[in-house]
Amino acid sequence: MTRKRSITPYTFLLPALVVLGIFVVYPIIAVIYYSFTDYDIATPPVWVGLDNYTKLLGDETFRLALVHSFVYLLVTPILIFLSIVLAIVVNRRMRGIHIFRALYFVPAVSGSIAIGLAWKWLFDRNGLINSVLLSWNIIDTPIQWLATPALVLPIAMLLTTWAGVGFYSVIFLAGLQNIPEELYDAALIDGCTNFQKHRYVSLPGLRPQIVFVTVISSLAALKVFDEIYVLTNRTGGILDSGVTMVFYLWKEAFQLNNAGYASAIAIALLAITLVFSIFNVRILESREEGVA
Amino acid sequence: MSTAGMAQIAEPVAVIQAHRRRPRRAAIVSSGLWYVVLITVAVITVFPFFWMLMTSLKGPGDPVYSIPPQFIPTDPSLGAYQRVLAALPIPTYFLNSLIVAVSVGALNVLVAAMAAYPLAKMRFFGRDAIFYALLATLIVPAQLTYIPSFVLSVNVFHYYNTLAALIFPNLVSAFNIFLLRQAFRSVPNDLIDAARVDGAGEWRIWWSILLPIVRPSLAAVAIFTFVTSWNDFLWPSLMLHTKDGLTLPVGLAALQSFFQSDFRSIAAGVTITVVPILLFFILVQRYFVKGLAGAVKG
């Protein structure tokens, strides 16, 4: 360890702290200030006190965005379940298994706009899904998938799940490969079925990965934007059926020039994210104590 | 050890061996079933891309929408690609994306590796406070900072509508600092102490001892950051508004409004943008997967 009084550690840290100071810390302070102002970015902000927040409380679209963002969190448990199953499936020595693992990763690297457009084309009124359903006589008239308010969010969530499973299963696969083989042998001797083997050996062994994926994927779900932007043609969907917190923030700030009001939305998003993170950590920690 | 004891041990061993060496036919049937599962998942994963590719290759004689659907073009044509390339400067977008993603990837490695060294291997006043402050920035959604960052870009840094606007705010992420801090911690202190005894300065130790040892982690950070930056959409779409100045995802979104219902062209645009990043992924897949796996161990 180095001498205690030296500026060297700080010089190493300086560039990172400057960048994060300007582009993370300052913006948080500024956004708190803007949230108390009427601001359109072009002209200087005007102090309006709590006006934005009182408006927020009565705003039906905001309430909808809040609900949608919470509904979107359902993606997290689904993703975790499917990713663990997929990791178990690909965790075996078979010819060509590496090719399959790589294929499953493709949606995660392709970019949200590209895969969003691909999905939009599948679910278009003149898209493949309608074409298949019509030719199998399952439906008689084409379904307007993305113009049906009740379907916009589920389709976006399906897209997020489809794109994420391969990505997260790589994390779980690495976790599975760290579980000692002897534990599975012991389970076998105790007469465990295949299902029990995974329930009592794989699942506890994957704890760190489950914690990590829960945190990462739920934060991602709270911030979803790209999928909604593409699938709804940047409108947020009929009757705001696809509007999430970040989408609403973007729309108010950069489409409608209400940066002050959007800042209040941003503060609400920050508050929810903070509460949610604390909640996450608490639950996961208490579970850890339970296991130990 | 008594024979009874041996028998007790032999029995579980037999169970395990019986499980591991299953009869040949059963093994073939079971591996056949696994392949069915693997292929089914692969089809679900790849199908939207396949459908895009096929749509993009359909010529004037092939319907993009019909009942039943037509999968393989009978009148294949590259016309859609020509229309896309004529309408939008895709090669320029590609170059813009490359400049941004390479800069962001390389600079992240540099800045994060610098910050990670003292956090992993030095004792100094405020270390834990700085560490937890960095941890906290991970929780803050990036979109929350976009309004002030937008104001900064116009009023202070004057890089609105330039690629610099995509590089500077993304010079470092706390996540990368953690990843590299983790990697540095695994380097034995003896190695660093020995270098200090030999009179090496901290910068020298960092550059010639630590960095070479953690090279795989540096590669993982570089690749991850590259791909994230390459696919980033919201912030670039706020910053870039000139026809020649876009990155690929922003250009692709513009393409959607440009071609409206010309699905062949939109599909061609998607295919053009997906292919380069897929090729890149195939090349660096190993590092990608290792980095992802290593990120969770801490």
The residues pairing with A38 across neighbouring beta strands, listed in sequence order, are A46
B70 and B107 together in one domain: no
> Residue A141 sits in which domain range?
59-291
Please give the Cα distance from A266 to A251 (Å, whole number).
12
Counted across chains A and B, CB pairs separated by less than 8 A come out at: 272
Cβ-defined contact of A270 to B140 (cutoff 8 Å): yes
pTM, entire model: 0.90
Among candidate residues B180, B237, B92, the one with its CA nearest the CA of residue A113: B237
Please give the Cα distance from A210 to A175 (Å, whole number).
9
Please give the Cα distance from A248 to A65 (Å, whole number).
7
User: Going by C-beta distance under 8 Å and a sequence separation of 6 or more, which residues neighbour residue B73?
Assistant: B54, B57, B58, B59, B62
B65 and B90 together in one domain: no
pLDDT confidence tier of residue B176, bands split at 50, 70 and 90: very high
How far does the CA of residue A249 sit from the closest CA of chain B (Å)?
A: 8
A205 touches chain B (CB under 8 A): no
The pLDDT tens digits of the residues spanning A140-185 come to 999 999 999 999 999 999 999 999 999 999 999 989 988 898 888 8
Mean pLDDT of chain B: 89
Cβ-defined contact of B252 to A113 (cutoff 8 Å): yes
User: Going by C-beta distance under 8 Å and a sequence separation of 6 or more, which residues neighbour residue B220?
Assistant: B179, B287, B288, B290, B291, B292, B294, B295
B234 and B144 together in one domain: yes
Q: Is residue A36 part of a domain?
A: no
When scoring A97, A106, A222 by the number of chain B Cβ atoms within 10 A, the one with the most, hence best to mutate, is A106
B69 touches chain A (CB under 8 A): yes
Q: Is residue A42 part of a domain?
A: no
Half-sphere exposure of A204 toward its Cβ, with a 13 Å CA cutoff? Answer: 13
| Residue B86, token pair as written in the block | 């004529």
B129 touches chain A (CB under 8 A): no
The pLDDT of residue A33: 97
B93 and B31 together in one domain: no
Among candidate residues B281, B282, B278, the one with its CA nearest the CA of residue B50: B278
DSSP labels, A138-200: S-SS---GGGSHHHHHHHHHHHHHHHHHHHHHHHHHHHHHTS-HHHHHHHHHTT--HHHHIII
B59 and B100 together in one domain: no
Please answer whether residues A261 and A255 qualify as being in contact, where contact means their C-beta atoms are separated by less than 8 angstroms.
no
> Residue B19 sits in which domain range?
3-77
CATH number at A134 reads 1.10.3720.10
Q: Give CA separation, A200 vs A67, A179, B121, in Å.
A: 35, 12, 38
Please answer whether residues B49 and B274 qualify as being in contact, where contact means their C-beta atoms are separated by less than 8 angstroms.
yes
B213 and B124 together in one domain: yes
**Of the candidates B27, B55, B77, which is a domain's last residue?**
B77
Handedness of CA A271, A15, B225, A90 (dihedral sign): negative
Residue B119 with chain A: CB contacts under 8 Å: 13
Least CA distance to A253: which residue of chain B? B147
The one-letter amino acid at A44: P
B97 and B125 together in one domain: yes
3 state DSSP class of A96: coil
The residues pairing with A46 across neighbouring beta strands, listed in sequence order, are A38
Strands A37-38 and A46-47: antiparallel
B48 and B96 together in one domain: no
Please give the Cα distance from B64 to B83 (Å, whole number).
16
Q: Is residue A141 part of a domain?
A: yes
B130 and B269 together in one domain: yes
pLDDT confidence tier of residue B23, bands split at 50, 70 and 90: low
Residue B288 has pLDDT above 80, yes or no: no
The pLDDT of residue A5: 64
3 state DSSP class of A290: helix
Handedness of CA A259, A264, A270, A276 (dihedral sign): negative
Asked which of A14-23, A135-144, B13-22, B104-113 is least confident by mean pLDDT, the reply is B13-22
Q: Is residue A110 part of a domain?
A: yes
B146 and B253 together in one domain: yes
Element (H, E) at A38: strand A37-38
A150 touches chain B (CB under 8 A): no
Cβ-defined contact of A111 to B231 (cutoff 8 Å): yes
Q: Is residue A275 part of a domain?
A: yes
Q: Is residue A34 part of a domain?
A: no
B67 and B178 together in one domain: no
- ipTM score here? 0.91
Query: Peptide bond preceding B48: is omega within 30 degrees of 0, i.e. cis?
Result: no
Residue B125 has pLDDT above 70, yes or no: yes
The one-letter amino acid at A112: S
How many other β-carbons are positioned within 10 Å of the β-carbon of residue B130?
Answer: 19
**Of the candidates B41, B62, B77, which is a domain's last residue?**
B77
The one-letter amino acid at A99: I
**Of the candidates B27, B53, B77, which is a domain's last residue?**
B77
Q: Is residue A5 part of a domain?
A: no
Structurally, chain B folds into a number of domains equal to 2
B130 and B200 together in one domain: yes
Structurally, chain A folds into a number of domains equal to 1
CATH number at B267 reads 1.10.3720.10
Residue A20 with chain B: CB contacts under 8 Å: 134, 137, 172, 174
Least CA distance to B226: which residue of chain A? A109
End-to-end CA distance of chain B: 43
Which of the residues in chain A have pLDDT under 70? 1-5, 285-292
